[in-house]
Amino acid sequence: MNVSDFFAYMRPGSRGHLIGIGGVSMSALGEVLHSMGLDITGSDMNESETVRKLRASGIPVTIGHLAESVEGRDFVVRTAAVHDDNPEIVAAHERGIPVFERTQAWGAIMKGYRNAVCVAGTHGKTTTTSMVTHILMAAEADPTVMIGGTLPLLKSGYRVGQGDTIVMESCEYYNSFLSFTPTVAVILNVDADHLDFFKDIEDIKHSFRKFAENVPEGGTVVANADDANTMAALAGLTGRKLLTFGVEGEAELRAGNIRPGRTTAFDLVRNGEKLTEIELPIGGLHNVYNALAASAAALTLGLAPELIARGLAAFHGAGRRVEFKGKFNGADVYDDYAHHPSELRATLAAVRQMGYKRVVCAFQPHTYSRTKALFDDFVEVLKQPDVCFLAEIYAAREKNTIGISSRDIAERIPGARYFPDFATLEEALRLELREGDIFLTVGAGDIYKVGEALLK
């Protein structure tokens, strides 16, 4: 089954069933297909606010995975987390009902939009997709949006619009973004990650190259000129426009006169001509790059520089991206999703510019395979905070067959402390935090719960 096969089912009255419909991307997919006049049902393991919202919009959702749920359906869509032994998948195969991947369905939906902006890159996807959304909303373009996190403006991770533009966060893991058909492909950076799937950095670069080649002739690839891996992946690419952005080099779209701090201002300059002044309510050089990428995508869509400035001025960050949570013992408590050494480095650099006396960091590594593959890089970057506490590795989809622990990282960092559970970590933080500190919970797992527990 592929994207074009799914396209045949995108007609009013076509009956589809979505397994795992309570997830961010799947619930959005269900709503989009439902709004196109398809007869959609779904299933999920748990009741949730999302499930209740879907039912209220006219999409029946069953709790639990039952073979009879696919009865009478023309097609089934699943997420990567749903395996072949799932009762609904088994039943679909027995009945000859075609089963599609979530990304194939989104890839087919994109074909119905004049503009499809796909934001890819190892780091910064959620923030940049959110920034593009802010600009499109400022331009009243009524976009359809799919983000891998929560955007306060939308009060969720998606919206179903009536305009001619769709914006999608596009992940390289399992080559899932290769099902997409962008008219504007944004590549923020290419770094070594997901090495449980990719062989090495060359394999990753090859995947991003294929993603860029999915852009039709006459479409545009927006690329980070300051990132060597990105430019190597795109070397010799023809038949598409290439719009480069950057801070250091000879990019077409550049940030000039950068004024850093807790907020960031810079001049948006194209080929030497100042287009507008950007004032970002958030800090960090990495967010200057994200804003440049979002601006480049918006310019490609023909949006005016003043609309770009207005959209970005209203962007205070996506959920779990240097997100202020409150105060404890006089310390400011923030949470961030960084789970790769490059992301950690960018987050800590941004925080250093905020002028606190001490940076206290509680980091939870994400997956055993990533911790092992990038171990030395994690050790180096985690030497930067004034106080470094390490929670145990968040397993996610893995089992610890490697025999690795966060304790191994802590032992390599002078003064760092390892905590086998959140209770002992919280206790240590209650004694440690004081006026003048910024305290960061960092990681893609559930480390945010530590900050929330303190604030209770």
CA atoms within 13 A on the CB side of 346: 23
Cβ count within 10 A of residue 375: 16
**Contact between residue 81 and residue 87 where contact means Cβ atoms under 8 Å apart:** no
Task: Of 284, 270, 323, 307, give the one whose Cα is nearest residue 452.
Answer: 323
Helix axes 125-138, 305-313, angle to 10 degrees: 120
DSSP 286: H
Q: Are β-strands 144-151 and 358-363 bridged in parallel, bridged antiparallel, or unpaired?
A: unpaired
CA angle centred on 54, ends 51 and 57, rounded to 5°: 155
Q: Letter for the amino acid at 63?
A: I
DSSP 230: H
**Contact between residue 272 and residue 253 where contact means Cβ atoms under 8 Å apart:** no
- Residue in the structure block whose two tokens are 């359906």: 73
What tokens does 135 get?
Answer: 């600009």
Give every CB contact of residue 272 below 8 A, 6+ residues apart in sequence: none
Q: Which residues make beta-bridge pairs with 269? A: 254, 274
What's the CA gap between 433 and 430, in Å, rounded? 6
Task: Of 242, 226, 344, give the one whose Cα is nearest residue 234.
Answer: 242
Q: Are β-strands 61-63 and 75-78 bridged in parallel, bridged antiparallel, or unpaired?
A: unpaired
Q: What are phi and psi of 97, to 5 degrees?
A: -85, 125
Point out the residues that are catalytic: 125-126, 169
CA dihedral 307, 311, 314, 317 (to 10 degrees): -160
